[in-house]
Amino acid sequence: MGALSRRIQGRVREDVARLEPYDPNFTPCDINLSANENTYGMPEQVRVAIDEAIAATPTNRYPDPMSNDLRDQIATWHGVRRENVCVGNGGDELLFNFFLAFGGPGKRLVDCPPTFTVYDIYSKMVGTSVVRCWRDPDTFELDIDALLRMAGTADMVIVTSPNNPTGNVIAAADVARLCEACPGMVMIDEAYAEFADDGISCERLLATYDNLIVLHTYSKAFCLAGVRMGYVLAAPDVIEVLGAVRQPYTVDVFAQAAAQVVTSMRGVFRPTIETIRKERRRLAEGLAAIEGVRVWPSQGNFLLVRMPYAAIVRARLRDKRSILVRDFSSSPGLEDCLRITVGTPRENDELLDAVASILKEVV
Ligand code: PMP
């Protein structure tokens, strides 16, 4: 945060004065491969149906606070009951509510960096201490034994699978061990699960472990990043607790209408998801073929890459080619790393061409 005026400094909560807000580092560019959205856009037939649903939605009444129609649809989709589902204003809000409900002063979170930095920000906002179980510095795989040990005294554990920004997944068998080892709550953040190989989700463990929470979002595979819609699956009493800390009308009528349409037409997204998986492989091979570039395998719709002068390459991609990617080069453990969202074939071709020629200039 910038320097606070004296007037505010004396009034704001001390820990809030020290907060660094989340910065998506956005600059408008022709090709945006920086935020892991679905760059193929909403399929036309779904867009038409959303427009019709929104046109038929009255705005003078408050929304259904818990979005029960949508919860029922999500429950049927995942083979659970309405009582197992809570929807939120994006996955981010559900993460925050998770911290509100289960974190706070005296509580301990274990997370596995390098990972999604929002966990860190939310833990600071509610005064939760963070214990870090670092991933392998070369492969970014989890250190499962260390994680199980740390989980043994944790109030909350979050594992991101596929992990943002490294693309690794956690096996369901390890999630089961984690749920057994942890006396507190275990959240598996599956924001990118739709892009992973079949069977990656740990959802089937929900029937066995009542301390497991699985987070999903409509922002990635389902093209609703702009609408803000996410959901968690968990045991009914966990959902009740999350319901108690949420703001009552946080998911508006348009968002509920759009998500209901997307849920009922979710099969339409399958071909695009398959194309993104194919393009992920092509882009990874193309990047790895450029001298000096290392690419990590990824189960998400993004690739983590390392290259010399990464921050300069990123700036030139933005300023000379109008291509935006995410710079992680100053994040701990991610020196000289960039994260690139898998785009359309044309976007990926342009990126490959631009990286190859910029690297020739700078190295
Ligand atoms: N989890 C992870 C790992 C993410 O990368 C994101 C989005 N960047 C989210 C959760 C939250 O997504 P949203 O709020 O758009 O649903």
Give CA–CA dist 143/133, Å, rounded: 7
- Beta 185-189 vs 156-160: how paired, if at all? parallel
What digits encode the pLDDT tens for the residues 67-92? 999 999 999 999 999 999 999 999 99
Assign residue 200 a region: left if phi > 0, alpha if psi is -120 to 50, beta otherwise? alpha
Determine which helix (DSSP H) or strand (DSSP E) holds 214, and give its type and residue range.
Answer: strand 212-217
Give CA–CA dist 284/295, Å, rounded: 6
Ligand 1: centre distance to CA 189 (Å): 8
For ligand 1, mutation pick of 23, 37, 92 (most atoms within 8 Å of CB): 92
User: Which residue ranges in the chain fall short of pLDDT 50?
Assistant: none
CB 337 within 8 A of CB 325: no
The CATH 3.90.1150.10 domain(s) of the chain lie at 6-42+269-362
Count other C-beta atoms under 10 Å from residue 219's C-beta: 23
- Please state, in angstroms and as integers, the Cα–Cα distance from residue 219 to each residue in 1, 72, 149, 294, following that order: 27, 20, 33, 28
Query: In this predicted structure, what is the pLDDT of residue 285?
Result: 98
For ligand 1, mutation pick of 189, 192, 195, 224 (most atoms within 8 Å of CB): 189
Query: In this predicted structure, what is the pLDDT of residue 9?
Result: 83
pTM: 0.97
Q: Which of 117, 134, 137 is nearest to 327 (CA)?
A: 117
Fold of 6-42+269-362: Aspartate Aminotransferase, domain 1 (3.90.1150)
Nearest atom (ligand 1) to Cα of 230: 16
Query: In this predicted structure, what is the pLDDT of residue 23?
Result: 83
187 alpha carbon, distance to own chain's centre: 13
The CATH 3.40.640.10 domain(s) of the chain lie at 44-267
Looking at residue 80, what DSSP letter applies?
-
CATH class of 44-267: alpha beta
What digits encode the pLDDT tens for the residues 112-139? 999 999 999 999 999 999 999 999 999 9
Give CA–CA dist 96/98, Å, rounded: 5
Give CA–CA dist 98/11, Å, rounded: 27
Residue type, 270: R
Ligand 1, atom 4, lies closest to the CA of: 191
Ligand 1, atom 6, lies closest to the CA of: 191
- Beta 302-306 vs 294-295: how paired, if at all? antiparallel
Q: Both tokens of residue 354?
A: 């631009």
Query: In this predicted structure, what is the pLDDT of residue 318?
Result: 97
Query: In this predicted structure, what is the pLDDT of residue 25?
Result: 84
Decide: residue 27, CB within 10 A, 0-12 exposed, 13-18 middle, 19+ buried: exposed
Pocket of ligand 1 (CB under 6 A): 90-92, 116, 160, 164, 189, 191, 217, 219, 225, 230
Ligand 1: centre distance to CA 358 (Å): 30
